């Protein structure tokens, strides 16, 4: 059964039999390129002794590949209409559990502790694109005991999420990702690899979660500074920080002086260490 799921005729027949129609609002674009899931599962770190948290099962193409390689797979899927489909497509696997819930509402700490006691855990998912960043920030900010997060996202999102400090594409989200992890793009995936085909191409990225944040600064102050610094495009750091942190110009200048960061610099040029220095000076 699973071998055929990337076959469009088999997939369409399966969905029709269950009366399933795609929900655009839930970001339902299912993978139909047979080479992508095995590669994602492998490069995402699924293997003996490893527990995998997946988000969004669809009809279970990636779930099945993860189940083949990993010790155990737990998948959070919001759409209850997919449950009978998954019962059928994943029938051969005894190491898969589907949790019918919204990943933005689930207590992930408790879920991981309950489902993967003492196991190394990785996250692997083809994310619903309407909430890519919120899901990733939720996974990272909770500092879950997870070794790596390997996800399919839109190509532009992949570039932004993995952008290095100092590069043109860097934004607040790139800095946040780097604070918690070491990101890299694994491989591109064309829009034709999905049913229905989305309007843009995709890419798989992997975030290797750091045991400790990259720099020494309390998260709350660090992210206040980062958000303020990127609040106005093409403005100097001095202007952004005084606006974003509600400081008088003179106070913002003194803050930058204490941190040893030039007031005329722009957020895109700053290293993580410089953001941390400002957060500590705050």
| Residues contributing to the site for ligand SAM (CB under 6 A) | 26-31, 55-58, 61-62, 76-79, 102-104, 126, 128
Residue nearest ligand SAM, Cβ-based: 56
Nearer to ligand SAM, 195 or 279 (CB): 195
Nearer to ligand SAM, 126 or 150 (CB): 126
What phi and psi, each to the nearest 5 degrees, are found at residue 187?
-160, 155
CB of 174 to ligand SAM, least distance (A): 22
Give 204's strand partners. 152, 187
Q: Is 84 helix (H, G, I), strand (E, B) or coil?
A: helix
CB of 62 to ligand SAM, least distance (A): 5
Q: Which helix (H) or strand (E) holds 99?
A: strand 96-100
d(CA 199, CA 58): 19
User: Do residues 79 and 55 make contact, with C-beta atoms less than 8 angstroms apart?
Assistant: no
Nearer to ligand SAM, 136 or 270 (CB): 136
User: Token pair of 209, please?
Assistant: 């979660």
User: Do residues 144 and 116 make contact, with C-beta atoms less than 8 angstroms apart?
Assistant: no
Token match 């600064």: residue?
217
d(CA 252, CA 246): 9
Nearer to ligand SAM, 130 or 218 (CB): 130
Query: What one-character-per-residue DSSP string does 139-184 give?
Result: HHHTT-S-SEEEEEEEHHHHHHHHPPTTSTT--HHHHHHHHHEEEE
CB of 202 to ligand SAM, least distance (A): 9
Nearer to ligand SAM, 126 or 274 (CB): 126
CB of 23 to ligand SAM, least distance (A): 7
CB of 214 to ligand SAM, least distance (A): 28
User: Do residues 48 and 60 make contact, with C-beta atoms less than 8 angstroms apart?
Assistant: no
CB of 158 to ligand SAM, least distance (A): 14
Nearer to ligand SAM, 70 or 175 (CB): 70
CB of 70 to ligand SAM, least distance (A): 15
Nearer to ligand SAM, 138 or 227 (CB): 138
Strand runs labelled E in 166-247:
181-189, 194-195, 202-209
């Amino acid at each position: 059964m699973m071998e055929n799921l990337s076959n469009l005729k088999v997939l369409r027949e399966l969905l029709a039999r269950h009366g399933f129609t795609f929900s655009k609002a839930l970001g339902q674009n299912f993978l139909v390129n047979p080479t992508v899931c095995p590669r994602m599962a492998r490069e995402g770190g699924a293997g003996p002794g490893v527990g995998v948290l997946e988000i969004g099962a669809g009809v279970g193409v990636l779930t099945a590949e993860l189940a083949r390689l990993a010790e155990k797979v737990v998948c959070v899927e919001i759409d209850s209409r997919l449950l009978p489909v998954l019962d059928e497509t994943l029938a051969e696997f005894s190491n898969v559990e589907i949790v019918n819930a919204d990943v933005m509402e689930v207590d992930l700490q408790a879920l991981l502790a309950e489902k993967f006691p003492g196991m190394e855990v990785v996250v692997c998912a083809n994310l619903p694109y309407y909430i890519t960043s919120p899901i990733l920030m939720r996974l990272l900010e909770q500092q879950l005991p997870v070794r790596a997060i390997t996800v399919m996202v839109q190509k532009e999102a992949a570039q932004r999420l993995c952008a290095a400090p100092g590069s043109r594409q860097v934004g607040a989200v790139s800095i946040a990702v780097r604070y918690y992890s070491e990101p890299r793009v694994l491989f591109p995936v064309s829009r034709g690899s999905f049913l229905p085909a989305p309007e843009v191409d995709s890419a798989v990225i992997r975030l290797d979660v750091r045991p400790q944040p990259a720099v020494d600064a309390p998260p709350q102050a660090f992210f206040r500074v980062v958000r303020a610094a990127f609040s106005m495009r093409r403005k100097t750091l001095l202007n952004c920080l005084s606006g974003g942190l509600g400081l008088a110009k003179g106070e913002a200048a003194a803050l930058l002086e204490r941190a040893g960061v030039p007031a005329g610099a722009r957020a895109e040029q700053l290293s993580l260490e410089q953001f941390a220095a400002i957060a500590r000076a705050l």
